[in-house]
Amino acid sequence: MGIGGGFDKEELNAPMSEINTTPLVDVMLVLLVIFLVTAPMLNHAVKLNLPAETTTEIRDQKAITISIDASGAYYWNDQLVTVDELEQRLNNAAKENQKQPLHLRADTDVPYGKVSHFLATAQRLGLSNLGFLTSPQH
């Protein structure tokens, strides 16, 4: 090394052996800030301590069973009814007992509008004790 403090030819031609980590640190800090900002928004669940219960088969003999087959036909306790008859019977049931339990059995291929019509009619008449019946999985 001379008086001017210059570099030797060996130092100029040698490959750089150190990695510049500044861009890596910058990227990691940006990702950390993004994560800290978005993490609270990802948690939408309401934290509840729910009781641990097992379900049992419903055996309510007083419940009215409304069935809707794949073609969209309504059944009142396994008896075919028209839409007008269904609404009239629901109206009569609501007048007798607002807490009248209703069980809905709907085919998986039922048009959604048929189920929606039944639910809207029951709600309009004040019948809110509704249950959905399903087949147990094997």
pLDDT at residue 50 in the model: 45
pLDDT at residue 26 in the model: 94
- Average pLDDT along the chain: 79
The residues facing 64 across adjacent strands are: 102
pLDDT at residue 30 in the model: 95
Tokens of 29: 């800090």
What CATH number is associated with residue 97? Answer: 3.30.420.270
Residues 5-28: tens digit of each pLDDT: 555 565 667 677 788 889 999 999
On whether residue 26 sits in a domain, the answer given is no
Assign 105 to helix, strand or coil. Answer: strand
Indicate the pLDDT class of residue 46, thresholds 50, 70 and 90: very low
On whether residue 68 sits in a domain, the answer given is yes
Alpha-carbon span 138 to 83, nearest angstrom: 34
List, edge to edge, every strand of the sheet that includes 102-106: 79-81, 74-76, 64-68, 102-106, 130-132
Phi then psi dihedrals of residue 18, to 5 deg: -110, 140
Mean pLDDT over residues 52-80, rounded?
77
- Total domains in the chain come to 1
Neighbours of 33 (CB within 10 A): 10
Indicate the pLDDT class of residue 109, thresholds 50, 70 and 90: confident
- Domain that residue 70 falls in: 64-132
DSSP 125: T
pLDDT at residue 12 in the model: 64
pLDDT at residue 6 in the model: 58
Alpha-carbon span 76 to 39, nearest angstrom: 50
Mean pLDDT over residues 87-114, rounded?
88
Q: Is the pLDDT of residue 35 over 50?
A: yes
On whether residue 49 sits in a domain, the answer given is no
Q: Is the pLDDT of residue 59 over 50?
A: yes
DSSP codes joined into one string, 36-102: HHHHHHH--PPP-------------TTPEEEEE-TT--EEETTEEE-HHHHHHHHHHHHHH-TT--E
DSSP 122: H
